[in-house]
A and B are shown apart, each in its own frame.
Chain A
């Protein structure tokens, strides 16, 4: 559904992406995990036509972004990291403008808008100016707007950044529902938990390069299931295949250790020597 080859983006002061090869399958939720500045947003900006690549190719739903831009863009829905809604206008007006932009006829716009606003829980406040809505509601409106024209691929750039944990879980539920309907989702995040909860596959990104791709389980299981941290600096971690082995190690040390499950953060740390958060 998304395919890139040798995708590079060079800015005057830095190289943001060093030749990314991506293959995102139809219907999967693909998470792009890395710390701030790793190149996540740059990748989304290239894939959605907001920026031009220095070199490399991109295909969305089989359409080449360079030579078949209109069809490629028609296949994409984008929920950006920054809330870029018209804040003086209502959620309904924002969605209506989007539908007009994508050539939807009035009856279809109305039907789709009502459905999406109801589904995202915004219907009752659909006619209030967006600036009066909370951050969580605004994020829902962004996702509804991105889905308005029935895209095949939904790009979610840090969809829960700045939201409190309960709202974050609501957004996760919404994202899962969208995925279950068959929409391919490309999600960037620097929240480990988010990628672990939602993703079918995860790409680990560091300084503009993909260091590994796999299911969350596969990425974690290379290390073992359980981890023991030395509490001093929190950076020395030993991995074990079973809980019993890990617990025995803790007992032998006589305290000062923490037993926990292995996370994608461990996988990232092992492959890059750095932490995500």
Chain B
């Protein structure tokens, strides 16, 4: 006679399994991932910091030093958001997502596991950017404020990626999100240039983007300053709101 497992489970039960699965996959693909995290920043550093920006200073600092924290914010955003692509493949191609749906696990537990895994990818991307900066002689201050901003940024975009992966109806939709949401934000969100040099109306719009605040907070922290409270608040609020969105839409993935 089969014995039923204990039914006493809290609302977060199972989230560890979701997170653990993503970590196993991350470890399995670690070389590929780290290489992909390093290639674009290396190109940006070579093209923008050395070829175009050599000798250029921004706010009294070398352009390369300005660029590295921005690249870290952008890379964390892209890598944590890309958890959505992983979910998309698991959902539509390999059908692994159905294993989670069959499990006695709350939507909150599933969302938490995926968002945490996406955030780890984001933080790993930040680490890679820091290492990319070393051969260029860029050593900044990577203290607690820097990592807190990076973590909030990663949680926000991991949550957004998880939530949108629940709403999309296929791979094509996922590609569109990358094209219309992430790429514009990557180029306009204060990664490559100071936002305050834009026309005020455009600067106001760009100030609404979470990445702008991530780049600002991480840059200030990397320069040894306390990040602006407003930027940290926007990042915290974005992380919370996007996580709530992700939690709410998990059930939409059910047919």
Contacts and interface: CB of A to CB of B under 8 A. Distances in A.
Interface in A41-77: 45, 48-52, 61, 69-71, 73-76
A39 interface: no
A48 B255 CA distance: 13
A74 B2 contact: no
Interface of B: 1-7, 9, 13-14, 16-18, 20-21, 24-25, 28-29, 94-96, 98-105, 254-255
B5 A103 contact: yes
A182 B1 contact: yes
A73 B9 CA distance: 12
A84 B95 contact: yes
Given A70-B7, A71-B7, A97 B94 contact: no
Which residue, A93, A100, A152, has most C-beta atoms of chain B within 10 A? A100
B255 A86 contact: no
Interface of A: 11, 45, 48-52, 61, 69-71, 73-76, 78, 80, 82, 84-89, 93, 97-98, 100-104, 149-152, 181-183
Contact of A50 (B1, B6, B98, B105): B98
B96 A74 contact: no
A71 B9 CA distance: 10
B3 A89 contact: no
Contacts of B1: 181-182
Contacts of A98: 17, 99, 103
A262 B159 CA distance: 58
B180 to A, nearest CB: 27
B10 to A, nearest CB: 10
Nearest to A50: B101
B17 A182 contact: no
Contact of A152 (B4, B9, B18): B4
B5 A102 contact: yes
Contacts of B7: 70-71, 74
B20 A74 contact: no
A49 B5 contact: no
A102 B100 CA distance: 10
Contacts of B29: 88
18 contacts: A49-B101, A50-B254, A51-B254, A70-B9, A74-B7, A76-B102, A82-B95, A84-B94, A84-B98, A88-B25, A88-B28, A89-B21, A89-B25, A98-B17, A101-B14, A101-B105, A103-B13, A150-B4
Contact of B2 (A49, A71, A181): A181
B9 A103 contact: yes
B116 to A, nearest CB: 14
B4 A86 contact: no
A101 B98 CA distance: 13
